[in-house]
């Protein structure tokens, strides 16, 4: 299906009247998948992109897992835009972390003085700390930008980046905001933030509609650490969002936190070694992990008088 046709379906589903009791009741019973292998697609909010930038090792594990499980990773276009809009914030946070660490080191050096240490070496350390502080203080430092770019390159090697037409859905966005239809209304003090939530949500829905899962899985995830009531109701995602996802995409959506995602990836990592071992044992090859020899092979071993007979008599003769 061509992209304009997919967007037609999205806009139609979001605009059509419906008797929604059935989808709403199903939303109340949706449970978080127990394994990433059960997930057809996963979307990530801006705050999760920020966390992935901060934790490159965790980001690596996510990218490896979605590839191994053939799970579509969706970076909504709006969330990517907001990621770059917040680059200065990221740089400031990086700087503050460095600054606090350097301040502790400087305080330690000043308080301990040079007693028992090489005075010249201590002074050199203090000078280097001062230079490093000045070098890192500039938020436009290219190292901060490189860190942001590295995450985005890695992300978009693994993810799709869907974007709906802003102008085409603008009037719908206004109506939903006025009627407090999630997501976005909890950010009503900042209209741009409120509309950003709506477009991020639509980008995600659009991405799911465009994705093709050959395994026809029906479970989906959207990961956000936004705890405001337009995204969450207690420990679960807002039922209206889960029901809307069902109506638009014909699937079961779980809205989870970064911590929930960590648990899923950890569970996946624990099961992978067991799966590999099981596959090796079932392998007909006589390599590492191969099962015991067959009965006929054991008999040949006895007849030939060897303690560890090869797989066949032909191999023994060769």
Please give the average per-residue pLDDT across 196-215, as a whole number: 96
**66 with 20, same domain?**
yes
CB 95 within 8 A of CB 133: no
160 in a structural domain: yes
Residue 278 lies in a domain: no
Residue 277 lies in a domain: no
Q: Give the pLDDT confidence score for residue 316 in this predicted structure.
A: 38
The DSSP element (H or E) to which 62 belongs, if any, is helix 56-68
Establish if 162 belongs to a structural domain: yes
Domain assignment present for 17: yes
Look at residue 243 in the predicted model and tell me its pLDDT.
96
How much is the average pLDDT of 212-220?
A: 95
Higher pLDDT, 314 or 226: 226
> Do residues 57 and 164 both lie within one domain?
yes
19 and 167 fall within a common domain: yes
- Same domain flag for 130 and 153: yes
Asked if the structure places residue 90 within a domain, the reply is yes
The three-state secondary structure class of 34 is coil
Q: Is the same domain home to 90 and 164?
A: yes
Tell which wins on pLDDT, 298 or 152.
152
77, burial (CB in 10 Å: exposed 0-12, middle 13-18, buried 19+): buried
Same domain, 173 and 306: no
- Domain boundaries, position 308: 283-317
Task: Give the span between the Cα atoms of 232 and 236, in whole angstroms.
Answer: 6
Identify whether residues 167 and 249 lie together within a single domain. yes
User: Do both 148 and 289 map to the same domain?
Assistant: no
Same domain, 292 and 147: no
3-state secondary structure of 225: coil
Tell whether 11 is covered by a domain. Answer: yes
Q: What is the pLDDT of residues 49-75, one digit of tens each?
A: 999 999 999 999 999 999 999 999 999
What percent of the chain shows pLDDT beyond 90? Answer: 59
pLDDT confidence tier of residue 140, bands split at 50, 70 and 90: low
How do residues 33-42 score in pLDDT, each as one tens digit?
999 999 999 9
Is residue 185 located within the same domain as residue 300? no
Instruction: Tell me the chain's radius of gyration from C-alpha atoms.
Output: 28
The domain total for the chain is 2
Task: Please report whether residue 206 resides in a domain.
Answer: yes
What is the rounded average pLDDT of the residues 194-201? 95
| pLDDT tens per residue across span 86-110 | 888 877 776 566 556 656 666 665 6
- d(CA 254, CA 259) in angstroms, rounded, equals 14
Annotate 266-279 with b (16+ C-beta within 10 A) or e (fewer).
eebeeeeeeeeeee
> Is there a single domain that holds both residue 289 and residue 253?
no
* Token digits of residue 308: 């560890």
Q: What is the reported pTM?
A: 0.75
Residue 19 has a pLDDT of: 82
Indicate the pLDDT class of residue 115, thresholds 50, 70 and 90.
Answer: low
Tell me, yes or no, whether 120 and 47 share the same domain.
Answer: yes
Write the CA distances from 74 to 13, 159, 210, 225, integer angstroms.
20, 5, 10, 16
What is the share, in percent, of the chain residues with pLDDT greater than 70? 70
Partners of 159 in the β-ladder = 73
Tell me what the pLDDT averaged over the chain comes to.
82
pLDDT at 217: 97
Q: Which of 136-145, 240-249, 309-318 has the lowest mean pLDDT?
A: 309-318
């Amino acid at each position: 299906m061509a992209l304009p046709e997919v967007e037609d379906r999205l806009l139609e589903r979001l605009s059509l009247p419906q008797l929604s009791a059935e989808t709403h009741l199903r939303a109340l019973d949706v449970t978080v998948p127990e394994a990433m292998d059960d997930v057809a697609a996963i979307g990530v909010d801006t705050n999760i992109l920020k966390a992935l930038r901060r934790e490159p090792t965790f980001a690596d594990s996510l990218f490896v897992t979605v590839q191994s499980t053939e799970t579509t990773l969706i970076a909504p276009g709006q969330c990517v835009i907001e990621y770059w809009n917040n680059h200065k914030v990221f740089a400031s946070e990086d700087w503050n972390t460095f600054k606090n660490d350097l301040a502790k080191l400087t305080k330690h050096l000043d308080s301990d003085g040079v007693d028992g240490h090489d005075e010249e070496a201590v002074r050199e350390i203090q000078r280097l700390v001062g230079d490093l502080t000045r070098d890192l203080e500039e938020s436009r430092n290219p190292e901060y930008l490189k860190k942001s770019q590295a995450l985005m390159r890695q992300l978009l090697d693994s993810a799709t980046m869907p974007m709906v037409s802003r102008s085409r859905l603008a009037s719908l966005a206004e109506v939903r905001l006025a009627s407090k239809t999630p997501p976005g209304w909890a950010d009503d003090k900042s209209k741009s933030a409120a509309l950003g939530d709506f477009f991020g949500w639509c980008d995600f829905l659009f991405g799911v509609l465009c994705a093709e899962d050959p395994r026809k899985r029906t479970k989906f995830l959207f990961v956000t650490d936004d705890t405001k009531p337009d995204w969450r109701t207690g420990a679960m995602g807002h039922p209206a969002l889960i029901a809307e996802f069902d109506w638009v995409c014909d699937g079961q959506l779980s809205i989870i936190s970064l911590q929930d995602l960590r648990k899923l990836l950890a569970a996946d990592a624990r099961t992978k070694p067991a799966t590999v071992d099981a596959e090796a044992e079932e392998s007909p090859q006589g390599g590492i992990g191969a099962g015991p020899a067959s009965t006929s092979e054991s008999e040949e071993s006895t007849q030939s008088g060897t303690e560890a007979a090869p797989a066949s008599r032909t191999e023994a003769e060769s």
